[in-house]
């Protein structure tokens, strides 16, 4: 029978992990539980609940730094920084609605454990790029720290990077320190209308290769654009390519006008201003185009595919099924297709040549996630190295075993 250790402090955490290691009892590590359906199912008789490890422990806006206990809700942190006109610039994705929960359910530890970054990834970097310091418990039941509270730090290995995106398989984070950045004064979006996928990527490439400091570049094919809550997008009557510009008013106005001129030969252009603009990018961030029109019929599987931006449309065409939209200038493909059989896994993995990118099955029924690799399969040498890294942190393999790869 499953039981849960709801730890309230680091001592209790150490006690729980030490026990698990001694008894060879695997633990499922849970922040606030919003992403439990992401990853391979963990075979564990016990869970480690970190939702009581909460609170912002340090926030110095002029120093651009914030520390919090790992179980603190992301919503609480975003509200605190918004009050000081700042933000988490990597734009953490809220996967809760996609995974069937209420919006705003995740913890900061969960965001970092999954390295979840939104549309601004292309300009501001990923979650891992904003992760300055960490304190965590290894699978050995030892509390260790890495990094610090300053941006420039090369003292020792950067274990923050290693823990970010490790899905709780290496260590249980208790305290994290992040870089925060000022919120832009204005957010405008240039829309280019009616482009096919390949031309859209060309348009985005032109924008990203300009000096206009583009902070988001996404493309919604006609069917998905129609579902937007932003009327300008929904009523465009075709595909919509969106390019985001952020900064002080005069700068954004100038760049918006310049970009519209530079893209005019590809299609008609429009512009969205602050409120509509913010709404559109939140939709894109949270993958809303793929779940909003999903009220009837069986739930589809959703894939997140990272490729070289110019290859996005070819990859989608080669997969040849489902419904897709593009972020990161074409480099991030969100794809929904039937969850029957292997949910398209075989086909998608075949299309991605070695070294050409990776695909993660973000949403699928439990049976599919148990049977198919959720994360992109690794070549044997990389898999062996990953296993040795895991052993260095969690030799008894009690932390989220199998969450990322079978046996890891």
Partner 1 sequence: MKMPDPDQTIIEAKSDIVAALRVIVPGEGVIVDEDELRVYESDGLTAYKQLPLIVVLPETTEQVSRILKCCQERGVKVVPRGAGTSLSGGALPLADGIILGLGKFNRVMDIDFDNRCAVVQPGVTNLGITKAVESEGFYYAPDPSSQIACTIGGNVAENSGGVHCLKYGLTTNNLLGLEMVLMDGTVLRIGGKHLDSEGYDLLGLMTGSEGLLGVVTEVTVRLLKKPETARALLLGFETAEQAGDTVAAIIAAGIIPGGMEMMDRPAIHAAEDFVHAGYPLNVDALLIVELDGPQAEVDYLIKEVSGIAEQHGAVTSRISENEEERLSFWAGRKAAFPAVGRISPDYYCMDGTIPRAQLPLVLRRMREMSEKYGLRVANVFHAGDGNLHPLILYDANKPGELEAAEDFGSDILKLCVEVGGVLTGEHGVGVEKRDLMGAMFSEIDLKQQQRVKCAFDPEALLNPGKVFPQLHRCAELGRMHISGGKMPFPDLPRF
Which of 282, 310, 338, 371 binds partner 1 (CB under 8 A)? It is 310
Residue 268: CB minimum distance to partner 1, A? 24
- Which helix (H) or strand (E) is 12 found in, with range? helix 10-23
Residue 345: CB minimum distance to partner 1, A? 14
Residue 184: CB minimum distance to partner 1, A? 8
Q: Residue 260 interacts with partner 1 (CB under 8 A)?
A: no
Q: Residue 45 interacts with partner 1 (CB under 8 A)?
A: no
Q: Residue 349 interacts with partner 1 (CB under 8 A)?
A: no
Q: Residue 57 interacts with partner 1 (CB under 8 A)?
A: no
Residue given tokens 């985001």 in the structure block: 244
Q: Residue 211 interacts with partner 1 (CB under 8 A)?
A: yes
Q: Residue 266 interacts with partner 1 (CB under 8 A)?
A: no
For partner 1, which is the closer residue by CB, 213 or 342? Answer: 213
Q: Residue 251 interacts with partner 1 (CB under 8 A)?
A: yes
What's the gap between Cα 151 and its chain centre? 21
What is the spatial distance between Cα 45 and Cα 259, in angstroms, rounded to a whole number? 56
Which of 393, 400, 401, 403 binds partner 1 (CB under 8 A)? It is 393
Residue given tokens 């002029």 in the structure block: 62
For partner 1, which is the closer residue by CB, 19 or 294? Answer: 19
Q: Residue 314 interacts with partner 1 (CB under 8 A)?
A: no
Question: Residue 375 in contact with residue 407, Cβ under 8 Å?
Answer: no
Other beta carbons less than 10 A from residue 87's beta carbon: 18
Residue 169 tokens, joined: 């398989």
Binding mask 329-348 for partner 1 (x = CB under 8 A): --xx----------------
DSSP calls for 26-55: -EEEESSSTTTTSSSPP--SEEEE-TTS--
- Strands 181-182 and 86-87 come out as antiparallel
Which of 106, 357, 401, 402 binds partner 1 (CB under 8 A)? It is 357
For partner 1, which is the closer residue by CB, 13 or 236? Answer: 13
Q: Residue 67 interacts with partner 1 (CB under 8 A)?
A: no
Residue 5: CB minimum distance to partner 1, A? 6
- Strands 46-49 and 3-6 come out as parallel
Which of 273, 347, 349, 358 binds partner 1 (CB under 8 A)? It is 358
What is the spatial distance between Cα 233 and Cα 244, in angstroms, rounded to a whole number? 14
| Opening angle at CA 89, ends 85 and 94, nearest 5 | 105
For partner 1, which is the closer residue by CB, 121 or 363? Answer: 121
Looking at residues 127 to 186 of the shown chain, list those that interact with partner 1 (rule: CB under 8 A).
Answer: 128-129, 138, 140, 142-146, 148-162, 164-166, 170, 181-185
Q: Residue 125 interacts with partner 1 (CB under 8 A)?
A: yes
Q: Residue 360 interacts with partner 1 (CB under 8 A)?
A: yes
For partner 1, which is the closer residue by CB, 163 or 230? Answer: 163
- HSE on the CB side for 94, CA within 13 Å? 18
User: Cβ contacts of residue 244 below 8 Å, gap of 6+?
Assistant: 119, 187, 188, 189, 214, 215, 216, 217, 277, 281
Q: Is 156 helix (H, G, I), strand (E, B) or coil?
A: coil
Question: Residue 73 in contact with residue 104, Cβ under 8 Å?
Answer: yes
Binding footprint of partner 1, residue count (CB under 8 A):
104
Q: Residue 8 interacts with partner 1 (CB under 8 A)?
A: yes
Which of 3, 102, 295, 297 binds partner 1 (CB under 8 A)? It is 3
Beta partners for residue 68, in sequence order:
56, 176
Which of 54, 72, 117, 277 binds partner 1 (CB under 8 A)? It is 117
Question: Residue 31 in contact with residue 101, Cβ under 8 Å?
Answer: no
Residue 212: CB minimum distance to partner 1, A? 7
For partner 1, which is the closer residue by CB, 224 or 396? Answer: 396
What's the gap between Cα 334 and its chain centre? 12
């Amino acid at each position: 029978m499953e039981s849960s250790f709801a730890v309230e402090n680091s001592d209790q955490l150490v006690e729980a992990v030490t026990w698990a290691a001694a008894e060879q009892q695997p633990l499922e590590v849970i922040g606030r539980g919003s992403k439990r359906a992401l990853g391979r199912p963990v075979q564990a008789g016990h869970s480690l609940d970190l939702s009581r490890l909460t609170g912002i422990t340090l926030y110095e806006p002029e120093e651009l730094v914030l520390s919090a206990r790992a179980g603190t809700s992301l919503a609480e942190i975003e509200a605190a920084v918004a009050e000081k006109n700042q933000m988490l610039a990597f734009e953490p994705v809220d996967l809760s609605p996609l995974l069937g929960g209420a919006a705003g359910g995740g913890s900061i530890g969960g965001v970092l454990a999954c390295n979840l970054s939104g549309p601004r990834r292309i300009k501001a970097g990923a979650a891992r790029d904003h992760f300055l310091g960490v304190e965590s418990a290894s699978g050995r039941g030892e509390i260790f720290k890495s990094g610090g509270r300053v941006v420039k730090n090369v003292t020792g290995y950067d274990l923050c990077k290693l823990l970010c995106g490790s899905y709780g398989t290496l260590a249980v984070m208790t305290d994290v320190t992040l870089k925060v950045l000022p919120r832009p004064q204005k957010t405008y979006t240039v829309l280019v209308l009616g482009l096919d996928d390949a031309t859209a990527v060309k348009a985005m490439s032109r924008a990203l290769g300009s000096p206009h400091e583009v902070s988001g570049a996404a493309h919604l094919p006609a069917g998905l654009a129609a579902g937007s809550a932003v009327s300008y997008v929904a009523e465009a009557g075709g595909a919509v390519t969106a390019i985001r510009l952020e900064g002080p008013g005069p700068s954004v106005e100038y760049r918006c006008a310049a970009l519209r001129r530079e893209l005019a030969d590809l299609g008609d252009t429009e512009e969205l201003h602050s409120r509509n603009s913010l709404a559109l990018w939140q939709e894109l961030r949270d993958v809303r185009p793929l779940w909003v029109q999903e009220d009837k019929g069986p739930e589809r599987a959703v894939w997140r595919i990272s490729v070289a931006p110019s290859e996005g449309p070819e990859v989608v065409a080669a997969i040849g099924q489902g419904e897709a939209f593009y972020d990161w200038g074409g480099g991030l493909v969100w794809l929904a297709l039937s969850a029957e059989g292997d949910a398209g896994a075989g086909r998608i993995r075949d299309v991605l040549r070695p070294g050409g990118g990776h695909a993660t099955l973000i949403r699928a029924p439990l049976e599919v996630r148990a049977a198919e690799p959720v994360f992109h399969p690794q070549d044997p040498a990389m898999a062996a190295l990953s296993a040795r890294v895991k052993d260095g942190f969690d030799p008894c393999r009690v932390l989220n075993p199998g969450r990322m790869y079978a046996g890891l």
